[in-house]
Amino acid sequence: MGRLGTAISLFFKVLFNSETAEKAQTVLLPSPSGQAAKLEEKPATPPKPEVHPGVDALVLLAALQREARFLDLFQEDLSSFADAQIGAAVRDVHRDTKATLDRIFGITRLRSEEEGTTIEVPADSNRLELRLVGSVGATPPSSARLVHAGWKATRCELPKWNGEPEAAKILAPAEAEV
């Protein structure tokens, strides 16, 4: 809206709204010091903290560590442990990692058919959802054996980071027992 439109709009607001008229008078009429009053400035909206690249990935990794001990399994040297010990540890990490991923991403199978069964391959199938592997000719086949059912996320609800960027790099604090 240009200045003329603003002036006309303000005219009618002052004419029909006493509160607006009072505000206009305080701005337009000089104060005892001889100067017109300044408009009340609205407090500035605080700037949003800068989100550094990769912080979302670090938050996800920290959640997997906190809820499933994910890093402990993959960063630990397992060569000195017996297979039975590793299997027992992996069972807990697997269960807790699955629960964390399901909570954050809502992961489900992309295909409902059992792996190993023959499925139809429509000519207009979405190549992002179904990748043909093996001896694929120039024209896609009408059927194929399902090797992997695929995965999809039904949501993405990453925990939000609101701390200092450097602190996001701490995936799990060191622990000392007292």
Q: What pLDDT sits at residue 91? A: 93
- Looking at the structure, do residues 69 and 146 belong to the same domain, yes or no? yes
Q: Residue 109: enclosing H or E segment and its boundaries?
A: strand 107-109
User: For residue 112, what are the CA distances in angstroms to 115, 126, 130, 141, 152?
Assistant: 9, 16, 13, 20, 12
Distance CA(102)–CA(164), nearest Å, equals: 27
Place of tokens 């029909």: 16
Q: How many helical (H) and strand (E) elements, i.e. helices and strands, does the chain have?
A: 5, 4
Q: Which domain holds residue 17?
A: 1-30
Q: Residue 3: enclosing H or E segment and its boundaries?
A: helix 3-16
- Looking at the structure, do residues 23 and 107 belong to the same domain, yes or no? no
Q: Is 159 left (phi over 0), alpha (psi -120 to 50) or beta?
A: beta
- Looking at the structure, do residues 113 and 70 belong to the same domain, yes or no? yes
- Looking at the structure, do residues 67 and 101 belong to the same domain, yes or no? yes
Distance CA(142)–CA(130), nearest Å, equals: 13
Q: Is residue 145 part of a domain?
A: yes
Q: Is residue 81 part of a domain?
A: yes
3-state secondary structure of 33: coil
Q: What pLDDT sits at residue 160? A: 86
Distance CA(67)–CA(73), nearest Å, equals: 13
Rg of the chain on CA atoms, in Å: 31
Q: Is residue 136 part of a domain?
A: no
Q: What pLDDT sits at residue 12? A: 74
- Looking at the structure, do residues 59 and 20 belong to the same domain, yes or no? no
- Looking at the structure, do residues 107 and 147 belong to the same domain, yes or no? yes
Q: Is residue 135 part of a domain?
A: no
Distance CA(23)–CA(152), nearest Å, equals: 57
- Looking at the structure, do residues 81 and 160 belong to the same domain, yes or no? yes
- Looking at the structure, do residues 148 and 63 belong to the same domain, yes or no? yes
- Looking at the structure, do residues 92 and 150 belong to the same domain, yes or no? yes
- Looking at the structure, do residues 82 and 160 belong to the same domain, yes or no? yes
Q: Is residue 126 part of a domain?
A: no
Q: What pLDDT sits at residue 36? A: 56
Show pLDDT as tens, one digit a residue, over the chain (178 residues).
678 777 777 777 777 788 888 887 777 776 666 565 565 566 777 776 666 778 999 999 999 999 999 999 899 999 999 999 999 989 999 999 999 999 999 999 999 999 999 999 988 888 899 998 888 777 878 899 999 999 999 999 998 888 888 899 999 999 999 9
3-state secondary structure of 124: coil
57 φ/ψ angles, rounded to the nearest 5 degrees: -65, -40
- Looking at the structure, do residues 69 and 111 belong to the same domain, yes or no? yes
Distance CA(45)–CA(59), nearest Å, equals: 26
Please give the tally of structural domains in the chain.
Answer: 2
Q: Is residue 68 part of a domain?
A: yes
Q: Is residue 49 part of a domain?
A: no
pTM of the model: 0.62
Q: Is residue 109 part of a domain?
A: yes
- Looking at the structure, do residues 153 and 78 belong to the same domain, yes or no? yes
